[in-house]
């Protein structure tokens, strides 16, 4: 399933119309819309980080989101960097920074797309030039993405989350009307629908079979003294290599040839585990 999250109904309306989504009357906490074959679930979270995190957690828990599913966070944003963007421009966000804590998150841009890319900052209040570091590059600003990423990470791997933001203003949020926000998405729906279709097809293939070779994973976990969290991380790294066409087997064999594997204890295993992750990526 493709899980789409927007902050407002005006941001969601183009998606609802394009995919003919129907409102789920059973959902009383958040406005939720489904496609007839249940392959798309769109949720209006409300504005702000707390609302966004609560909506992602609630909907994904109720639907059992996970393997083969994807999260898309979309909606409007401000362009605040020195390199200005035009109102209506669509960007794929490859870096998300939470202004309050300074934490930075990196969704894996694993699948091909035709969108321009930009970094995004999420703040708890309207943009203030004194709080955001000056940059000559393009920088976007919104109120939900960092929270969506953190809540989504409990259900999705980094390559299963995409953040697509449309510029609604250039530091003049107060002048933007709901009707203007509603119209921003319409010109992009063809490209967005194509991207959703691609993700859905990829998800179908992932559900049918996990590409990670279990025998190799089991051997590595034994030789690295992996904990459960290390095993999950290693599985994700190998899956990434397979999907990206990286020769992961050759890099693993090289560590064996150099006697970096197998390890003698858990302490050595942790050091080799970090080295292996660097080699794989």
What pLDDT, on the 0 to 100 scale, is given for residue 1?
Answer: 92
Rounded Cα distance, 227 and 224, in Å: 9
Spatial contact of 140 and 73, defined as CB atoms under 8 Å apart: no
Residue 1 burial (CB count, 10 A): 20
Task: Give me the count of residues in the chain.
Answer: 281
164 in Cβ contact with 90 (< 8 Å):
yes
- Is residue 248 within 8 A of residue 281, CB to CB? The reply is no
Q: How far is CA 214 from CA 127, 218, 224, 250, in A?
A: 48, 6, 15, 17
Please tell me the distance from the alpha carbon of residue 196 to that of residue 229, in angstroms, as a whole number: 30
> Phi and psi of 98, rounded to 5°?
-90, 115
Q: Transcribe 210-270 into DSSP letters.
A: --S-HHHHHHHHHHHT--HHHHHHHHHHHHHHHHHT--HHHHHHHHHHTT--S-SSHHHHH
Beta partners for 140?
79, 120
Residues facing 2 on adjacent strands: 40, 70
Question: Can you read off the two tokens belonging to residue 168?
Answer: 């609604």
Mean pLDDT by 10 residues, the chain (281 residues): 96 96 90 89 96 95 86 93 82 95 92 92 79 70 96 92 92 75 93 94 75 85 87 83 86 90 90 90 78
pLDDT on residue 209: 61
Given this model, what pLDDT does residue 228 score? 76
Q: Which residues pair with 122 in a beta bridge?
A: 98, 142
- Work out whether strand 104-105 and strand 22-23 pair parallel, antiparallel, or are unpaired: unpaired
pLDDT at residue number 48: 95
For residue 74, the SS3 value is: strand
> Which residue has 């609302």 as its token pair?
51
**SS3 call for 140:** strand
Helix (H) / strand (E) element for 31: namely: strand 31-34
Closest among 54, 135, 142 to 97, alpha carbons compared? 142
Question: Which residues in 151-210 belong to E strands, given as ranges?
Answer: 161-169
Tell me 136's DSSP state. S
**What pLDDT shows up at residue 165?**
97
SS (H, E, C) 76-99: EEEECCCCCCCCCCEEEEEEEEEC
Name, in order, each residue with C-beta under 8 angstroms of 84's C-beta and a sequence gap of 6 or more.
138, 170
């Amino acid at each position: 399933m493709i899980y789409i999250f927007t902050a407002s109904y005006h941001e969601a309306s183009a998606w609802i119309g394009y995919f003919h989504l129907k409102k789920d009357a059973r959902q009383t906490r958040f406005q939720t819309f489904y496609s007839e074959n249940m392959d798309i679930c769109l949720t209006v979270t409300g504005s702000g980080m707390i609302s966004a995190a609560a909506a992602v957690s609630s909907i994904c828990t109720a639907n059992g989101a996970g393997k083969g599913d994807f999260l898309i966070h979309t909606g409007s944003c401000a362009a605040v960097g020195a390199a200005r963007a035009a109102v209506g421009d669509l960007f794929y966000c490859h870096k998300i920074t939470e202004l309050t804590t300074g934490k930075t998150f990196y969704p894996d841009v694993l699948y091909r797309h035709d969108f321009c890319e930009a970094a995004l900052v999420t703040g708890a209040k309207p943009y203030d030039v004194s709080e955001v570091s000056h940059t000559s590059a393009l920088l976007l600003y919104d109120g939900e993405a960092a929270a969506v990423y953190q809540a989504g990470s409990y259900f999705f791997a980094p390559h299963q989350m995409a953040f697509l933001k449309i510029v609604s203003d250039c530091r003049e949020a107060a002048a933007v009307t709901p009707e203007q926000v509603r119209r921003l998405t319409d010109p992009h729906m063809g490209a967005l629908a194509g991207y959703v279709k691609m993700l859905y097809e990829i998800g179908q293939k992932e559900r049918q079979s996990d590409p990670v070779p279990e025998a190799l994973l089991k051997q590595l976990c034994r030789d690295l003294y992996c904990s459960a969290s290390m095993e999950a991380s290693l599985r994700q790294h190998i899956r990434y290599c397979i999907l990206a066409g990286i020769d992961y087997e050759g890099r693993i064999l090289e560590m064996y040839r150099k006697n970096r594997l197998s390890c003698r204890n858990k302490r050595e295993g942790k050091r080799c585990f970090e080295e292996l992750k660097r080699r794989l990526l």
